[in-house]
Amino acid sequence: MNDRMAARGPDGSGYWIGADGRIGFAHQRLAIIDLSEGGAQPKASADGSLVITFNGEIYNYRELRAELQARGRVFQSESDTEVLLQLYAEYGDAMVGRLRGMFAFGLWDARQRRLLLARDPLGIKPLYWADDGWTLRFASQAKALLAGGAVSNDPDPAGIVGFHLLGSVPEPFTVWRSIHTLPAGTTLVVDAAGPGAPQHYYDVAGALAARATGRMVDPATTHRQLAAAVHDSVRHHLVADVPVAVFLSAGLDSGALLGSMAQLGARDISAVTLAFEEFRGANLDEAPLAAEVAARYGARHIVRTVDRAEFERDLPAILDAMDLPTIDGINTWFVAKAAHEAGIKVALSGLGADECFGGYPSFVDVPRSVHWLQAVSWIPGLGALVRRGMSAAIHAGLGVHPKAAGLLQYGSSWAGAYLLRRSVYMPWELDDLIDPAMLKEGLRRLAPLRRIGAVLRDGGALGDFDRVAALETSLYMRDQLLRDADWAGMAHSVEIRVPYVDPFFLAALPPGDALAAADAKAAVAGWKGEFLRGVARLGVACLASRLDRPRRRVKRR
């Protein structure tokens, strides 16, 4: 299992086996914080009663360390891993609520004979587990569990149907029935009775509802709050004992990150831009504008050009590294490859900004669909009747968009409208793609509308903007973008950090309605027709300004 994850940590490999031989940890190390042997894993407490294997980084570990020292705790290393052990000794399972970072870990408590599994609030780092009733196994890759040879690879209909519907596999499913994803923002305790139920300690919709004040914030205050939040998050994400680079596109998200890094005093910044031979000299080529932004801040600009031949050569390795099937992630593979070639271990990415600032068409389309179609949703059976009729027209080749058939049946609810907007296929289109028995079982277990609707269960009276933000953050970003960033980055031993994907950052933002209302004035105050000027002023006003132009942006990470 550990060998299958060698690319995730080429700087060292460690093992620990419990005294009774009934529990063991293994670890592949990518050395980022405390490069000495003090940061090696698995790591035990001074008395040996606690042992941890930990994937990720804790950005506020220095503050937590100082707090614990003030309470009498003594440290033997400079690593964030030891902070986790000491924090658990002080606060138990509640420790997870104090962590700012990305993490997945297993912590063995020998005194209580219990294993604590935990995953970060927004799901940046993955954690997969399998339990056959006798042995529980967990790892950072699902394929690592299979590599151990003791976990069944029988297919899971729910995961397979989910992939066909959405282009990624929704958690907690995988495409293997025996392997589960630990949901983001949860802990799982395993003791002599076996694994309990995952316990949620963070909920996106609830967090967005908590920050909503119920009052409008003026645009100037909105921009100040946004600027402060971006600065604070970038500052925390620069914590490392190795240089931190940035993935730089021609977009505002990554430009604002580079501007923030420069304003925070970062020096000798490397900025990596991905270009494609087929786009050279065309409007879709992001390299020229990215070069101007890099020059503005004195960053070392690395442009990596990919052509068709390289893509075809890399495709087998891409599919092997891809832990679960996905229709995305290829761009991240190549930009991480470029970073590795340049000797870069850590890079910031603008992933997550669209979910925060309304950069997707769904922020317009989903609320409009719900509000327009609720008036006819009360008519029993109308939606299903229209869908069957329009499906016949689609099959007859009359030029009707396939999703149009489900507009009345699905478009009047938040869950249904979101499924329409994000789906690759709709459920009724899968009959010709998946075995009927597998399709029936998969849809029953997946229950896509109920699963999507559950995202908003704790959201209270969220506004339209925050409802879509909660859906995009909890579903598309988590199940696809973050998972793709992990497998594609780790395949090249590159840690991808995402300052816009941070619960502390989300809590510091103005309410969603204020962000949405500030867009027009931000366009006047911040955009001024010139990208570089906006980025030079941190880019935060520009981030807000694009709320009114979601369709004009080039898709990027």
20-72, pLDDT tens digit by residue? 999 999 999 999 999 999 999 999 999 999 999 999 999 999 999 999 999 99
Whole-angstrom distance, CA of residue 420 vs CA of residue 403: 7
Q: How far is CA 181 from CA 164, 178, 250, 324, 497, in A?
A: 18, 10, 34, 11, 21
What local confidence, expressed as pLDDT, does residue 512 receive?
78
Closest by CA position to 276, among listed 314, 316, 299, 309: 309
> Beta-strand (E) ranges in 215-306?
244-247, 270-276, 300-306
Q: Is residue 400 part of a domain?
A: yes
Give the pLDDT score at 398: 54
| Section 228-237 average pLDDT | 95
Confidence of residue 221 (pLDDT cuts 50, 70, 90): confident
- Total domains in the chain come to 3
CA 44 to chain centre: 29
Angstrom distance (rounded) from CA 417 to CA 362: 9
Residue 75, classified by CB atoms within 10 Å of its CB into exposed (0-12), middle (13-18) or buried (19+), is: middle
CATH for 495: 3.40.50.620
pLDDT at 428: 87
Q: For residue 388, what pLDDT band results from cuts at 50, 70 and 90?
A: low
pLDDT in the model for residue 263 = 93
Q: In the predicted model, what is the mean pLDDT of residues 423-435?
A: 91
Residues 336 and 377 in one domain: no
Give the per-residue pLDDT at 392: 57
529, pLDDT greater than 50: no
For the record, the structure tokens of 164 come out as 């066909």
Residues 13 and 107 placed together within one structural domain of the fold = yes
Tokens representing 219? Answer: 């645009």
3-class secondary-structure state, position 64:
helix
pLDDT in tens, 408-426: 778 889 999 999 999 999 8
If one counts every other C-beta atom within 10 angstroms of the C-beta of residue 353, the result is 23
20 and 76 fall within a common domain: yes
Boundary of a domain, candidates 178, 202, 226 = 202
Q: What is the pLDDT of residue 532?
A: 39
Residue 159: the pLDDT is 98
Residue 64 to residue 46: CA distance in whole angstroms: 18
Residues 348, 499 contacting (CB under 8 angstroms): yes
Q: Say which residues have a Cβ less than 8 Å from residue 401's Cβ, sequence separation at least 6.
A: none
In this predicted structure, the answer to whether residue 75 has a pLDDT above a threshold of 80 is: yes
Do 384 and 459 fall within a single domain?
yes
The residues, any chain, with a CB within 8 Å of residue 224's CB and separated by 6 or more, are none
**Residues near 181 by beta carbon (within 8 Å), at least 6 away in sequence:** 126, 127, 128, 142, 171, 172, 173, 174
436-446 and 157-166 helices, crossing angle to 10°: 80
* pLDDT, mean over the chain: 88
CA distances from 248 to 2, 258, 275, 361, 498 (A): 33, 8, 11, 23, 13
Residue-level pLDDT at 479 = 97
Confidence of residue 530 (pLDDT cuts 50, 70, 90): very low
Average pLDDT score over residue span 314-322: 96
Q: What is the residue range of 330's domain? A: 205-358+467-552
Q: For position 421, what pLDDT does the model report?
A: 93
* Calpha distance 351→482 (Å, rounded): 8
Q: Is residue 311 part of a domain?
A: yes
Same domain, 195 and 225: no
Residues 6+ away with beta carbon under 8 Å from 183: 119, 123, 171, 172, 198, 200
More confident of the two residues 251 and 129:
129
Q: Specify whether the CB–CB gap between 24 and 15 falls below 8 A.
A: yes
Name the percent of the chain lying above pLDDT 70: 87
**Secondary structure of residue 193 in the 3-state scheme:** coil
Structure tokens at 14: 């460690």
176 in the same domain as 43: yes
Q: Are residues 88 and 190 in the same domain?
A: yes
Query: Does one domain contain both 449 and 495?
Result: no
At 56, which helix (H) or strand (E)? strand 50-58
Which domain-ending residue is among 202, 217, 248? 202
Write down which residue in 155, 182, 202 finishes a domain: 202
Mean pLDDT of 416-444: 94
pLDDT, tens only, 160-175: 999 999 999 999 999 9
Structure tokens at 77: 């290393």
* ∠ Cα 303 304 309 (to 5°): 155
Q: Are residues 176 and 294 in the same domain?
A: no
In the structure, what pLDDT confidence band is assigned to residue 528 with cuts at 50, 70 and 90?
A: very low
Tell me how far apart the alpha carbons of residues 15 and 29 are, in angstroms, rounded to a whole number: 11
Q: Which of 113, 109, 80, 78 is nearest to 93 (CA)?
A: 109
Q: Are residues 418 and 327 in the same domain?
A: no
Residues paired with 368 in a beta bridge: none
Q: Is the pLDDT of residue 440 over 80?
A: yes
Is the Cα dihedral 505, 89, 239, 322 positive or negative? negative
Residue type, 259: G
Residue 211: per-residue pLDDT: 83
What's residue 372's pLDDT? 85
Whether the per-residue pLDDT at 402 is higher than 80: the answer is: no
Count Cα neighbours of 556 within 13 Å in the Cβ-side half-sphere.
25
DSSP 236: H
CB of 357 closer than 8 Å to CB of 469: no
Position 498 in a domain: yes
Region 537-541: what's the mean pLDDT? Answer: 37
Instruction: Reduce the secondary structure of 129-184 to three states and give it as a string.
Output: EEECCCCEEEECCHHHHHHCCCCCCCECHHHHHHHHHHCCCCCCCCCECCEEECCC
Name the phi and psi angles at 470, rounded to 5: -65, -40
Categorize the per-residue pLDDT at 543 as very low, low, confident or very high, splitting at 50, 70 and 90.
very low
Q: What is the pLDDT averaged over residues 351-364? A: 93
13 and 92 both lie in a single domain? yes
**How many Å apart are CA 30 and CA 6, to the nearest integer?**
10
Q: Residue 224's pLDDT band (boundaries 50, 70, 90)?
A: confident
Q: Is residue 557, in this structure, part of any structural domain at all?
A: no
Q: What is the CATH number of the domain that holds 59?
A: 3.60.20.10
Three-state DSSP class for residue 91: helix
- Asked if 151 and 242 sit in the same domain, the reply is no
pLDDT of residue 541 exceeding 90: no
Determine what percent of the chain is predicted with pLDDT higher than 90.
76
Amino acid at 367: P
Tokens of 410: 């699905």
Residue 406 has pLDDT above 80, yes or no: no
Residue 396 scores a pLDDT above 70: no
**Does residue 513 fall inside a structural domain?**
yes
- Would residue 7 count as lying in a domain? yes
What is the band of 395 on the pLDDT scale with cuts at 50, 70, 90? Answer: low
